[in-house]
Structures are given as C-alpha cells and as structure tokens.
Amino acid sequence: MRKWFLLFLFLALPAFAQPQRSEVIRALFKNDGEGFLDPAKNEALQKVLATKPKLDIYETAALGTSVALEKMLGDDPEALNRPNQFGWTLLHLAAYGGNAPNTELLLRKGAAVNVHAKTKFRNTPLQAALLTGQYATAKLLLEHGADVLVRQAQGFTAMHEAALLGRADLVNLLLDHGAELNSRSDSGRTPLSDALRGKHEELAAMMRAKGATTEPTPDEEPK
C-alpha cells in the first residue's frame, strides 16, 4: 500500500508543484498561431476583463491603472523587481501589455530595465514589449536606458522581433536608438530573414534600402 501511495505522490507532484495561471493571465498570453495578441485587440482577454476580476499586482502592471499599481507597490515594495511565477517582472508585464502609465511608474521607481526573464527565452522588458508590438512602451524603455543590442535565448535581438511583426515604425525606432540592422541570431538569421519569413515584402524592401541583408557582411566572412 505504501508503495502505491508513494507512486501516486511521485506522479501527482508535478501537477501540485506547477502553479496554475489565472484566467486573466491565460487570456493575456493567448497566441493565435501567428504570435501574441495586442491586449487592446484580444477579444478573449476583453471578455474576461468585462467580468471585473480582482487583479493581482502582476496583472495590474499589465492591465490596471497606475494608481492601483502604486498602492500595491506601497503595500509590497519588494515586488518592484521580483519575478512572478513564470519569471517575468512587473516591468515585463507592463511593457507587454502596452501599459505606458505603468511602465513609466515602474521606471520612475527604479525597476530594472534590462533584466532578463527567468524563462528559457531570457527576454528583457523591451523584447516583451515587441512580442505584442507595443510602440509606446518600447519607446519609454529605450528612453530610460533599455539595451537595444541585448540578445535573448538563441541570439535573437529586438530587431528580429520588430521585423517578424512587419512593423516599420518599430524597426525605425530601434535603429534610431542604435540597433544593428544586420544582427545575426545563433542560427544565422538576420532581421531581414525574419521580415521575409513573415512575408512582409514592403518592410523587407525598406530594410534592403537601408543595407539589410540575409548574407554575412564583409566583416563576418570567414578569413
């Protein structure tokens, strides 16, 4: 009997140990197969929010008001740079959610702008903002010292994300802050490669006019 009980515990432990994501977080990170959805256009999320759920501090960072977030931080100041159950900080969530007032509040309070998520992707708040194409929060982060050259897992940069989205405004924003047009991932992909992969022909043409390539640059050619 003891053997079967221990076997049950062994099999059940991962389920008990794995924190369950709330309905709000599940909707916030809905992926339509082509990428994550802008929360403002995420119908599933808007349906959940219409029920007026009670938001925790991380959900508030993404979706709530700066007044509510500031009050929560007053009650729990250590939360400023503490990652949540899946490894994102408040700043990651505010940036991803396109919540400019909360992004500004967190930066003013000293949130770490270049912190890597404690996930396999190791993305920064800037890269989190680009997952849902958030120009306003990306701009705020860059203006407060976000590293435009930083690489996440597999060597991808913010430029790769912007190009894959097909967003010329984001590509230009990153270039204005010193991004590398031909940054190369560990597998050799460039932002232009990702623009073409996303079938963004107009963006690809604009990038080529600026010198983008899918081939190694002269500095990268083997000697």
Report how far residue 89's alpha carbon sits from residue 115's, in angstroms, rounded to the nearest whole number.
Answer: 8
The reported pLDDT for the residue numbered 19 is 60
The radius of gyration computed from the CA coordinates of the chain, to the nearest angstrom, equals 20
Burial of 147 (C-beta count, 10 Å sphere; 0-12/13-18/19+): middle
pLDDT of residue 33: 86
What was the pLDDT predicted at 215? 77
98 within 8 A of 64, measured Cβ to Cβ: no
Query: In 10 A of CB 77, how many CB atoms?
Result: 11
Side-chain half-sphere of 60: how many Cα atoms within 13 Å? 17
Residue ranges of the chain with per-residue pLDDT less than 70: 1-19, 216-223
Largest CA distance in the chain: 72
User: What's the pLDDT tens digit per position in 75-109?
Assistant: 999 999 999 999 999 999 999 999 999 999 999 99
pTM score, whole prediction: 0.87
- And the tokens for 184? 């190369």
149, 183 in Cβ contact below 8 A? Answer: yes
Domain segments of the chain: what residues?
A: 23-114
Looking at residue 68, its amino acid is A
As given in the structure block, the two tokens for residue 61 are 């960072």
